[in-house]
Amino acid sequence: MKSAIVTGISGQDGAYLAEQLLAKGYRVFGTYRRTSSVNFWRIEELGIQDHPNLRLVEYDLTDLSTSIRLLDQSEASEVYNLAAQSFVGVSFEQPLTTAQITGIGPLNLLEAIRIVNPAARFYQASTSEMFGKVQAVPQNESTPFWPRSPYGVSKLYAHWSTVNYRESYGIFGCSGILFNHESPLRGREFVTRKITDSVAKIALGKLDCLALGNIDARRDWGFAKEYVDGMWRMLQAEEPDTYVLATNRTETVRHFVELAFKAADIEIDFSGEGKEEIGVDRRSGRTVMRIDPRFYRPAEVDLLIGDPGYAHSKLGWEPTTSLEDLCAMMVKADLRRNEAGFSF
């Protein structure tokens, strides 16, 4: 039986990846952080928390000795590093913590692999945020980087560390440059889930209005379940490499707002401009969306659109879920949760 380490199993991608690896017959060592109230709602929602081949391990990415023990005790042949301080907005408030976890953290795992088992294959969760102020449209594996946040800068350090361990020590290190991917398991601080959860609450009469920041930002949004399959494919390839995973379609946050309300059977009209813009429910005339400047960022990534052609040709990877279906799936899940009286 193959063993794999998945760091960050309490997060969106960690939960989906663990589910897929377990279904493929892997023994999975899923890591979580010790906090005062550990929350496993995602793996509970997927129904894998008591799977006999799943072992939950307490772990912090910033700790080298734990990384070494993890590699040693798990005897893992594949290591998926999904753990990170992953929220771009917070990285402006906590740049040093973000650098320590998201930037230097992966180096602990790379060192542990070098020391304990150099044959282990490594996946690093890199990001389209590394393109930041984009230098080409669409972005692919050879587009120059220009990160626009402490998060993006930190991820770039981890990306180059992965490439460097590949070139220096022959470690099978893959960097997946993944564009935004969403799902009903997305954290509520990220814009898509914030929108679908708020829309569900508005539709159920539990909230009056959704407050957002820059709704002109454009993102390339895909379905998380398909992206974690791409991570696995990268580690099964003959050679380690860097790959972009994306849908090659970009839309504004405003468009996602419109789709989400539509999925809850609410038609909205936008009026006003910039920070005065509002969204009005056509039927009731009520304002259901407004701008709150607190959600603006010191520097914005205006436009992301990725070209997944290389991953398609090398790995046979292809996204299939449309943004409309993804958004409807998320709204449906949030309506169900809010009707039942809980929502994580």
Q: Applying CB under 6 A, does 101 fall inside the site for ligand NDP? A: yes
Which position among 78, 129, 182, 226 bears the catalytic label? 129
**Distance between CA 135 and CA 22 in Å, rounded?**
39
Say which entry of ligand NDP, ligand GDR, none residue 89 contacts (CB below 5 to 8 A, set by partner kind).
ligand GDR
Say which entry of ligand GDR, ligand NDP, none residue 60 contacts (CB below 5 to 8 A, set by partner kind).
ligand NDP
Nearer to ligand NDP (CB atom), residue 190 or residue 295: 190
Interacting residues with ligand GDR (CB under 6 A): 86, 88-89, 127-129, 179-180, 189-191, 194, 212-215, 217, 219, 253, 295, 297, 300-301
CB of 35 to ligand NDP, least distance (A): 6
Nearer to ligand NDP (CB atom), residue 14 or residue 308: 14
Nearer to ligand GDR (CB atom), residue 82 or residue 120: 82
CB of 218 to ligand GDR, least distance (A): 8
Q: Which of 60, 141, 229, 277 binds ligand NDP (CB under 6 A)?
A: 60
Which position among 7, 127, 192, 196 bears the catalytic label? 127
Window 63-82: residues binding ligand NDP (CB under 6 A): 82
Q: Which of 125, 191, 244, 327 binds ligand NDP (CB under 6 A)?
A: 125
Q: Which of 10, 192, 242, 250 binds ligand NDP (CB under 6 A)?
A: 10
Q: Applying CB under 6 A, does 181 fall inside the site for ligand NDP? A: yes
CB of 104 to ligand NDP, least distance (A): 10
Which position among 16, 32, 80, 151 bears the catalytic label? 151
Q: Which of 3, 67, 74, 85 binds ligand NDP (CB under 6 A)?
A: 85
Q: 149 vs 155, 179, 181, 254, 307, CA distance in Å?
A: 10, 16, 19, 22, 22
129 assigned to active site: yes
Encode the chain in three state secondary structure: CCEEEEECCCCHHHHHHHHHHHHCCCEEEEEECCCCCCCCHHHHHHCCCCCCCEEEEECCCCCHHHHHHHHHHHCCCEEEECCCCCCHHHHHHCHHHHHHHHHHHHHHHHHHHHHHCCCCEEEEEEEHHHCCCCCCCCECCCCCCCCCCHHHHHHHHHHHHHHHHHHHHCCCEEEEEECCEECCCCCCCCHHHHHHHHHHHHHCCCCCCEEECCCCCEECCEEHHHHHHHHHHHHHCCCCCEEEECCCCCEEHHHHHHHHHHHCCCCEEEECCHHHCEEEECCCCCEEEEECHHHCCCCCCCECCECCHHHHHHHCCCCCCCHHHHHHHHHHHHHHHHHCCCCC
Contact residues for ligand NDP (CB under 6 A)? 7-8, 10-14, 33, 35, 59-62, 82-86, 101, 125, 127, 178, 180-181, 187
Catalytic residue numbers read 127, 129, 151
